[in-house]
A and B are shown apart, each in its own frame.
Chain A
């Protein structure tokens, strides 16, 4: 068995490391390894695996949320989120820095991607914050931190993929991510308040006047938030209310996003063409990874690797916390080379049995994985969100990484909290769906 596992790991490392496309790497490695060690007609089984996964109805939510995201990306939501939130956030210690956090939370509730969240919120709020003279460190760091809420607060493309591959209900996962997402946003806000109270220079003196905006002006500003709140109601409301499945909610969300884009005058022929082309390419990109993942997953379980690993780890007598600690380290390391989707799908067939054997809930582990993937998005060298921020501000990756570190540390502590109190994740889905 150890020969099989070594062969599998080494060939995966070589194939992935040499730059072969992730989806093809996973598929090719799986096929090669099983042909070496077992005499089965893999060419007859493989089409079954591929066809089954590519036509899974729960997965249909994925392309729909991708399309919705592409439309939202071309609306004027960035500007309207800032205008709607700024008069209110001026009341809090930390002032407009909170626009980053709350803006990201709101956008995360209509978008499934953390890169899109960082980008859409950042391109207005970051520019405004820096122009007004807020602390560069906190402005950039908090955006990087909050942008990751895109995956945790539902809808979330990572959760759809996890749900389909782990055979767990996507709706339950979407529900489970909600409270942890809100709490994480609140932690980020608390951090901003503490840091700006200690360091008075973080906020320019002139921003104090934001407290004296009239209440009527504040309420007038709320109508700027209407499009975003409308979309949240349509997508999350219909799902949590039990009116729609995630896929149905996503389809309604697409039309909602088209409506918002059209009302804001963002629907040119070129924009629609770009939406079509880029959604199609994003879907194909994810699709190929899923194809590879399902083949590798089936092959590893055919070889008996998951149960072997599970018994191996239980012999080590690791405490569940130790296991989570080790896994966190492994994922942080993997995150240096792989982006989020690839990281989850590559490791899932082996890791999931380990974690369930150690007594963790599959829903809980899904939320854990999402946070770990988010961490990978904001740690170099392949921290996707860092590059997006670099595109907005033009700072060096080293600097952006350094100011993001406090938020990374916070997220790591948050993982420990969730491991200690798993009920915080599983409570809401249990209450809602039994």
Chain B
């Protein structure tokens, strides 16, 4: 579980790129940490809402609830999904069809990897651009939510920033691909329920 890939990256590539690698690496980690924090907050928020509504059912006089629980749990979820996407990309966690490219010879497969990364980067770039512009427009127009008058640019920016980190990670991956380096950072991956690694008790 060491990270020889990152080390070899910094040893063999021009200074500017190794700087970019470090930036993307840190942005991915920042995004991942923020996404995790969003998930933790989301869990506590919904749990608190359950406890309070149970409290209200038991003691109808003592009414208590969190009016924004539903709305904010949605925002937190969206932010978590997108902010975590760049670290997930770097860990090789996003789903893709590998049945066909798995049959190619290493050389052809490498070319196809460059192609898929480039196209993926374009798609993700368009998504980021559209999301960033929408967040900016909503900031200028002062859009707020119906339920709680929350300025919508805040959750929209979180989602757009998450998508942008993903694009930056894909750009880095494309450069990696051109230089013929490892594409995924294995140290970022943990054994999970969606994983094929087996830990026996």
- The residues of A with any CB-CB pair to B shorter than 8 Å are 15-25, 27-28, 31, 42-44, 46-48, 50-51, 54-57, 59-60, 62-64, 67, 69-70, 73, 76, 78-79, 111, 113, 115-116, 119, 123-124, 127, 243-244, 247-248, 250-252, 254-255, 274, 276-291, 336-339, 341-342, 381-382, 384, 387-388, 391-392
> Is B66 on the interface with A (CB-CB < 8 A)?
no
Q: Of the 9-residue stretches B3-11, B19-27, B34-42, B174-182, which lies at the interface with chain A?
A: B34-42
Residues of chain B in range 154-201 having any CB-CB distance to chain A below 8 Å: 155-156, 159-160, 166, 188-198, 200-201
In the complex, the 9 A-B pairs of residues with the closest C-beta atoms, listed nearest first: A287-B81, A278-B192, A54-B78, A47-B134, A55-B74, A28-B123, A284-B84, A391-B198, A251-B46
* Structural contact, B201 and A280, CB atoms closer than 8 A: no
* Structural contact, A247 and B73, CB atoms closer than 8 A: yes
* Structural contact, A248 and B156, CB atoms closer than 8 A: no
Residues 127-143 of B, flagged 1 when their CB comes within 8 A of A and 0 if not, give 10111011100000000
* Structural contact, B127 and A337, CB atoms closer than 8 A: no
From B49, B53, B77, B126, contact of A59 by CB (8 A):
B77
Residues of chain B in range 38-92 having any CB-CB distance to chain A below 8 Å: 39-40, 42-43, 46-47, 49-50, 53-54, 70-71, 73-75, 77-78, 80-85, 87-89, 91
11 contacts between A and B (CB under 8 A): A20-B123, A28-B120, A46-B131, A54-B77, A54-B81, A56-B74, A57-B74, A124-B201, A248-B50, A283-B80, A338-B97
* Structural contact, B77 and A248, CB atoms closer than 8 A: no
Question: With a CB–CB cut-off of 8 A, which chain B residues contact A23?
Answer: 94-95
* Structural contact, A64 and B43, CB atoms closer than 8 A: yes
From A46, A279, A338, contact of B130 by CB (8 A):
A46
* Structural contact, A47 and B42, CB atoms closer than 8 A: no
Question: With a CB–CB cut-off of 8 A, which chain A residues contact B54?
Answer: 243
* Structural contact, B78 and A278, CB atoms closer than 8 A: no
How long is the Cα–Cα vector from A55 to B154 in the complex, in angstroms? 13
Min CB distance B184 to A, Å, is 12
> Is B115 on the interface with A (CB-CB < 8 A)?
yes
If A19-B100, A123-B198, A280-B84 touch, whether A60 touches B190 (CB-CB below 8 Å) is no
Q: Which of B70, B94, B113, B200 has the most CB of A within 10 A?
A: B94
How long is the Cα–Cα vector from A115 to B95 in the complex, in angstroms? 15
* Structural contact, B126 and A28, CB atoms closer than 8 A: yes
* Structural contact, B130 and A280, CB atoms closer than 8 A: no
If A51-B78, A284-B84 touch, whether A391 touches B159 (CB-CB below 8 Å) is no
Min CB distance B107 to A, Å, is 16
From B82, B93, B100, B120, contact of A281 by CB (8 A):
B93
From B73, B126, B133, B198, contact of A60 by CB (8 A):
B73
* Structural contact, A288 and B85, CB atoms closer than 8 A: yes
Chain B interface, number of residues (Cβ within 8 angstroms): 74
* Structural contact, B200 and A123, CB atoms closer than 8 A: yes
From A27, A51, A113, A116, contact of B123 by CB (8 A):
A27
Min CB distance A362 to B, Å, is 23
If A60-B77, A284-B35 touch, whether A113 touches B193 (CB-CB below 8 Å) is yes
Chain A residue with minimal CB distance to B162?
A284
How long is the Cα–Cα vector from A127 to B200 in the complex, in angstroms? 10
Beyond known contacts A47-B134, A67-B43, A283-B84: 10 more, CB 8 A cutoff: A16-B97, A47-B135, A51-B78, A251-B43, A255-B47, A277-B188, A279-B192, A280-B35, A382-B99, A392-B198
* Structural contact, B191 and A274, CB atoms closer than 8 A: yes
* Structural contact, A388 and B196, CB atoms closer than 8 A: yes
Min CB distance B153 to A, Å, is 11
- The residues of B with any CB-CB pair to A shorter than 8 Å are 32, 35-36, 39-40, 42-43, 46-47, 49-50, 53-54, 70-71, 73-75, 77-78, 80-85, 87-89, 91, 93-101, 112-113, 115-116, 119-120, 122-124, 126-127, 129-131, 133-135, 155-156, 159-160, 166, 188-198, 200-201
From A59, A278, A280, A388, contact of B198 by CB (8 A):
A388
Question: With a CB–CB cut-off of 8 A, which chain A residues contact B130?
Answer: 42-44, 46-47
If A60-B77, A288-B85, A391-B197 touch, whether A278 touches B43 (CB-CB below 8 Å) is no
If A59-B77, A70-B193, A251-B50 touch, whether A22 touches B96 (CB-CB below 8 Å) is yes
Chain B residue with minimal CB distance to A289?
B95
From B39, B49, B88, B96, contact of A67 by CB (8 A):
B39
Chain A residue with minimal CB distance to B122?
A28
How long is the Cα–Cα vector from A251 to B85 in the complex, in angstroms? 23
* Structural contact, B192 and A282, CB atoms closer than 8 A: yes
Min CB distance B180 to A, Å, is 18
* Structural contact, A123 and B201, CB atoms closer than 8 A: yes
How long is the Cα–Cα vector from A46 to B39 in the complex, in angstroms? 25
Question: With a CB–CB cut-off of 8 A, which chain A residues contact B194?
Answer: 113, 115-116, 278, 282, 285
How long is the Cα–Cα vector from A163 to B119 in the complex, in angstroms? 31
How long is the Cα–Cα vector from A382 to B87 in the complex, in angstroms? 24
If A23-B94, A60-B74, A287-B81 touch, whether A281 touches B87 (CB-CB below 8 Å) is yes
Chain A residue with minimal CB distance to B195?
A278
